[in-house]
Amino acid sequence: MKRRVEKFLEMSKLVGNNNVVVDMAGFMSVLDEKGDSFDFIKLNSIDGFDRVCSVGKKGIKRALVEADYAIAETGTVVVESSNENFRRATSLSDELFLVIRSSRVLNKLEEIANYMKEHTKKESYISFITGASRTADIEMSLTLGVHGPRDMTIFLIEEEQV
């Protein structure tokens, strides 16, 4: 698992993400201290912090959400996004913060196939996100934040190995 997590962090860094590695206690103190600075919070596995606002054309400053899986091979987070407001929050925030537990980091792209199959049997929208929104359409010069977030941070919660 360690190698997988390291690879994920390496690939995540490669696309310009800020990586913050914390244990559960560490993450809780981040929430306690900085929780108020987020406009939108949605955490699947940690109760009591969710904060939902409706997101319109102007967008929001900061969103913090938990990913369902991550893929080490590509540095990708897999986010169940069927709820439209959730999708808006993650698309229209200036800074996006993604939480992922280390046990949820998969090695290769194919390993997410089963989840995808099971999950999209019904109506659904799943997003793979790998870094901040970017374009190189003018003279191949890389520029961040063309439509979506300009900045992305990963909180990787290290869990005890079971």
Partner 1 sequence: MNELHLRIEKALSDRVLRDNLDTFYHNYKESHKRAYEGFDFNELKKEVGKIKFLSKEERLKLFEEFKKNVESAGAKVFEAKDSKEACDYIASVCKRHSSEYVVKSKSMTAEEIGLNAYLEKNGIKPVETDLGEWIIQLAKETPSHMIMPAIHKNRKQVAKLFREHLGVEVEDDDIEGMVRIARHYLREFYFKAKVGITGANVAVSETGTIGIITNEGNGRLTTTIPPVHIVVLGYEKLVKNFKEALKIIRVLPKNATGQIISVYVSWIKGAVESLSNPEGKKELHFVFVDNGRKALMGNPYFDEAMKCIRCGSCANVCPSYGVLGGHVFGHIYTGPIGAILTSFYHDDKRAMEILSLCCGCKACSEICPADIELSELIANIYGGLRFKYGLNTVRGSIYTNILARPKTLKGAAKIGSLVLKSVERSSRLRSKLTPKKHDFRVLPLPKSKSFSAVFKERLEPQQKKVDGKGRVFFYPGCAIEYLYPEVGLSMARLLNRVGLSVSIPDRMVCCGFPAVHDGDRAAAKKIIRQNAFYLPKGDDFDYFLVLCPTCGTTVKSLFSQFTLDMPKEYEKIERMEKKIVNFSKLLDELGLTVKTKGDILFTYHIPCHQNRGLHFSGEGFLKKILPRFYVPMRDKDRCCGFGGSFSIDYPEVSKAILDKKIDSIVSTNASVVVTECPGCIMQIRGGIMKRGLPIEVLHLSEFLDRYVELS
Rounded least distance, CB 86 to partner 1, Å: 10
**Using the rule CB under 8 A, is 125 a contact of partner 1?**
yes
The least distance separating partner 1 from the CB of residue 124, rounded to whole angstroms, comes to 5
Please tell me whether residue 107 binds partner 1 under the rule CB under 8 A: no
Q: Which residues of 81-107 are buried (b: 16+ CB within 10 A; e: fewer)?
A: beeeebebbbbbbbbbbbbbbbebbbe
Q: Tell whether residue 43 is a contact of partner 1 (CB under 8 A).
A: no
If binding is defined by CB under 8 A, does position 19 make contact with partner 1? Answer: no
Binders of partner 1 among residues 47 to 106 (CB under 8 A) are 56-57, 59, 73-76, 82-85, 87-88, 91-92
Measured between alpha carbons, how far is 104 from 45 in angstroms, rounded to an integer? Answer: 12
Count of Cβ atoms closer than 10 Å to residue 31 Cβ: 19
Report the distance separating Cα 82 and Cα 140, nearest Å. Answer: 33
Residue with tokens 């169940």: 80
Stretch in the footprint of partner 1 (CB under 8 A) among 28-36, 37-45, 143-151, 154-162:
143-151
Q: Which residues contact 91 (CB under 8 A, 6 or more apart)?
A: 147, 148, 149
Contact yes or no for 85/54 (Cβ under 8 A):
yes
Of these, 5, 9, 11, 67, which contacts partner 1 (CB under 8 A)?
A: 11
Q: Which residue has the tokens 């987070």?
A: 77
Confirm or reject binding of residue 109 to partner 1 (CB under 8 A): yes
Size of the site for partner 1 (CB under 8 A): 53
Task: Considering the complex, state which of residue 31 and residue 151 has its C-beta at the smaller distance from partner 1.
Answer: 151
Residues forming contacts to partner 1 in the complex (CB under 8 A) are 11, 14-15, 56-57, 59, 73-76, 82-85, 87-88, 91-92, 109-110, 112-114, 116-117, 120-141, 143, 145-149
